[in-house]
Chains A and B, each alone.
Chain A
Amino acid sequence: MSAPRHVRPLDRGRSDAERPRLELGPLGFDGGAHVLVKLALTECAGGTEVVVRGTHPELLADLRAWCRQQGHGCTPVGPDVGVAAVRRGRAAGARSVGAERAGHAIATEPGAVVARPPPGWGLAPRGALVEPGGPAPDFRLADRDELWTERAESFYEQATATQWDPAVAIDWSQPVVHGPAIERAVVQVMTFLVENEEAALVVPARFLGQVHPHFREVQQVLAVTVADEARHIEVFTRRATMTGYGPALSTVGGRASLQSLVDEPDYATAMFLLSVMGEGTFLSLLGFLERHAPDPVTRRVAQLTRRDEARHVAFSMAHLERHARLQPDLRARLARAVEHRHQALQQTSGLNDDVFDALVLLAAGEEDPASIAHGWQRVQDLQRDMAEARQGRLVRLGFSPGEAETLSSLHTRNFM
């Protein structure tokens, strides 16, 4: 029912005075003829009539009905000319009257990402021509200075290129040969990691729905971060349960520390506390597990999750470095948030003793005094490494070394 493929349906005529002709052949309006008529009218905008020709028995009647619905003019013509001459009505272009280009799809183009996209752009893709009117959803995070980073796209690309499948990337059949006390220590650490990753999932997920879609790349990074954390929860849970011991103790102090992250309403502050201070500290912890865990499955789990967490930290650092450069008072806000959180958590016990001891046992690998002393020293090194790395990141955000040391010391004893 379509025109022969080698024939271009719209013939513009031999001279300007001649009206363009659209040849539909046997194609009718019950088979999509309106698509070609619409295309022809779009190509011939500016009041030019298009003469429609075709052999479908109801072509004129259907063309008239369609033109009436669309607000186009339709005048029958002689059989030697065609079926009817169609003139494009004003309504056909009405949606673009007053329409606005929503920046540019490619973030690096000039003017691509605007400072404050209007609510009315809503879910429209960045760079689209947005018909005026319609819903104006209240995306709370709509200020470029507060959430944008030029590096968001590359972080997203890195993330999608390095996604891994827990069932494939980890050989879960590798044996666990250490004794029950060491295994219980591994299970306790995994339990601690799962509840921390729950917070690391919930916090970006909560902000994700508040980001104006104009900042597409930020949305995408947050979305893939949530997916990363879901996978981390899976592998830590699987490691915790693979030997039959099941998840261990979850303490009030640990959950209170994490809840203070979840409750933080400000995006920049929450991402600072979560990613820069918390996940940054976790990089040291996961590196520790990768080096000292007693079994290959735990080492592999730590290696894979650490790679993702490093990207999360780098994304938040990039965003906050830019934000702090544009709004110098941000640093004071972040410092106050650390102090406030410290005061709020003073009534809690900090890191679960069982977790601390489990780290010693895990790093010891054996239950004899010499191994325990060795494990103890490794945990001391870990805590020093955590503090130094945290201070380094704070300095990168523009805090003085003294401020960085003070703020680092106020960070929750629960690590995250």
Chain B
Amino acid sequence: MTTSRPFTLGAVAYDPKVVTIWEGFKTWFAGCEFAFDYVLYSGYEAQVKGHLAGQVDITWDSPLAWVRTRRLAAAAGREARAVAMRDTDQDLTSVVLVRSADSLADAADLTGRTVATGAIDSPQSHLLPMAHLASLGLDPGTAFRIRRFDVMPTKHGDHVGGERDATKALVDGEVDAACVIDGNQLLFAKEGTIAAGAVRVLTRTPPYDHCTMTVLDDADGAAVDRFVELLLAMSYEDPVVRPLLELEGLKAWRPGRTSGYEQLEAAVDRLGFYGADGSITAEGYPP
């Protein structure tokens, strides 16, 4: 794509800090003589559409947004590429937590029980753990009840609120299990939502990857290369960029990879969230 606009990134406004982050990066890129701007979308579905429509040159995508972008692109005979991600996006796991005092011994014991999840479109707190339980022979919604905490749907679970509410429901005895990402389990322990020793891990998903910088095949290759080069050059030891990296939750950027999305692709198919062509097939979504 040849345009006169600065290299423009799409990001989802899941929190006010998103403005701080991208304003800060914009200033930092300007210092590197790289013309950069950003557009904020209210949700990932709008961002994916905007990307396909050429509104932006690159998107900072949730893993689910990557899956949809890839499918929509493929259906249109195009190609999507994952070009960069955070060090903290690689090899994550999700856990199904239960109360330590409960007698549940393995996943099969969830039969007839209630499992709390985050938002319907949260990969880490809904899609991946539901698909994981399904792979263990438990059909979600049939073998066990699902209590979803739909905080900010279309933001793909970026907002931690859904997982926190699910965990509180577990601790308060309202549900029998709760699905969260491993890093949030540590966070909830640290902030006191989970008392030491109060919960245990019943089962854990295999490792998967999280967010990615996505480009389509019509992006300006030189600009993409320069953008990625600058991302990878950001150092946590740089006091100007460190606060931004802290807000974005990383110590270093890494080159993109797609090997960590196979599990989510399978989960999306298993749960019927998107069609093979990237169409939305999940019932009641978006609300």
Cβ A94 vs Cβ B186 within 8 A: no
B-side contacts of A131, CB under 8 Å? 239
> When A30-B194, A30-B196, A30-B197 are in contact, do A61 and B93 touch as well, CB less than 8 Å?
yes
Interface members, chain B 180-237 (any A CB < 8 Å):
182-183, 185-186, 189, 194, 196-201, 204, 235-237
Cβ B87 vs Cβ A71 within 8 A: yes
Q: In the complex the two chains form, what is the Cα distance from A34 to B183 in whole Å?
A: 13
B-side contacts of A61, CB under 8 Å? 93, 95, 182, 201, 204
Q: In the complex the two chains form, what is the Cα distance from A64 to B181 in whole Å?
A: 13
Dominant secondary structure of chain A at its interface with chain B: loop
Q: How far is the CB of B219 from chain A (nearest CB, A)?
A: 29
Most buried by A among B88, B198, B251: B251
In the complex, how many residues of chain A place their beta carbon closer than 8 angstroms to a beta carbon of chain B? 29
Most buried by A among B88, B194, B197, B239: B239
Interface members, chain A 131-180 (any B CB < 8 Å):
131-134
**B93, B200, B251: which contacts A91 (Cβ < 8 A)?**
B251
Cβ A71 vs Cβ B252 within 8 A: yes
Cβ A66 vs Cβ B186 within 8 A: yes
- Closest B-chain residue to A62, C-beta based? B186
Q: In the complex the two chains form, what is the Cα distance from A312 to B242 in whole Å?
A: 45
**B240 interfacial contact with A, CB 8 Å:** yes
Cβ A29 vs Cβ B186 within 8 A: yes
Of the four ranges (under 10, 10 to 19, 20 to 34, 35 or more), the interface on chain B belongs to 20 to 34
A-side contacts of B204, CB under 8 Å? 61
Cβ B252 vs Cβ A91 within 8 A: yes
> When A61-B204, A90-B237 are in contact, do A68 and B243 touch as well, CB less than 8 Å?
no
Cβ B189 vs Cβ A68 within 8 A: no
Q: In the complex the two chains form, what is the Cα distance from A97 to B251 in whole Å?
A: 15
A-side contacts of B277, CB under 8 Å? none
**A1, A94, A133: which contacts B240 (Cβ < 8 A)?**
A133
**Would you give the 0/1 interface string for B72-102, flagging 1 where the beta carbon is closer than 8 Å to chain A?**
0000000000000001101111010000000
> When A1-B196, A89-B251 are in contact, do A68 and B88 touch as well, CB less than 8 Å?
yes
Q: How far is the CB of B194 from chain A (nearest CB, A)?
A: 6
Cβ A58 vs Cβ B201 within 8 A: yes
**Would you give the 0/1 interface string for A40-79, flagging 1 where the beta carbon is closer than 8 Å to chain B?**
0000000000000000011001101110111100000000
> When A30-B194, A90-B236 are in contact, do A71 and B186 touch as well, CB less than 8 Å?
no
**B194, B200, B249: which contacts A57 (Cβ < 8 A)?**
B200
Cβ A65 vs Cβ B182 within 8 A: yes
**A31 interfacial contact with B, CB 8 Å:** yes
Cβ A68 vs Cβ B87 within 8 A: yes
**Would you give the 0/1 interface string for A90-108, flagging 1 where the beta carbon is closer than 8 Å to chain B?**
1100110110000000000
Cβ-Cβ contact count across A and B, 8 Å cutoff: 78
A-side contacts of B198, CB under 8 Å? 30
**A62, A91, A98: which contacts B182 (Cβ < 8 A)?**
A62
Q: In the complex the two chains form, what is the Cα distance from A117 to B91 in whole Å?
A: 45
- Closest B-chain residue to A95, C-beta based? B242
- Closest A-chain residue to B90, C-beta based? A68
Q: How far is the CB of A206 from chain B (nearest CB, A)?
A: 33
Q: In the complex the two chains form, what is the Cα distance from A92 to B198 in whole Å?
A: 30
**B91, B95, B185, B251: which contacts A71 (Cβ < 8 A)?**
B251
B-side contacts of A64, CB under 8 Å? 91, 182
B-side contacts of A133, CB under 8 Å? 239-240, 242-243
B-side contacts of A70, CB under 8 Å? 251
A-side contacts of B92, CB under 8 Å? 65, 68
Q: In the complex the two chains form, what is the Cα distance from A66 to B186 in whole Å?
A: 8
A-side contacts of B249, CB under 8 Å? 69
**Would you give the 0/1 interface string for B161-197, flagging 1 where the beta carbon is closer than 8 Å to chain A?**
0000000000000000000001101100100001011
**A29, A57, A91: which contacts B189 (Cβ < 8 A)?**
A29
Cβ B251 vs Cβ A65 within 8 A: no
Q: In the complex the two chains form, what is the Cα distance from A34 to B196 in whole Å?
A: 13
Q: In the complex the two chains form, what is the Cα distance from A88 to B200 in whole Å?
A: 28
- Closest A-chain residue to B250, C-beta based? A71
What are 10 A-B pairs at a CB distance below 8 A?
A30-B197, A58-B200, A65-B93, A65-B182, A68-B87, A69-B249, A90-B237, A133-B239, A133-B240, A134-B243
Identify the A interface with B (CB < 8 A). Answer: 1, 28-32, 34, 57-58, 61-62, 64-66, 68-71, 89-91, 94-95, 97-98, 131-134
- The 5 lowest CB-CB distance pairs between A and B, nearest first, are A133-B239, A71-B251, A31-B196, A132-B239, A91-B251
Q: A30-B197, A71-B236 are in contact. List 12 more A-B contacts (CB 8 A).
A: A1-B197, A30-B185, A65-B93, A65-B182, A65-B185, A70-B251, A91-B236, A91-B237, A94-B237, A97-B237, A98-B237, A134-B239
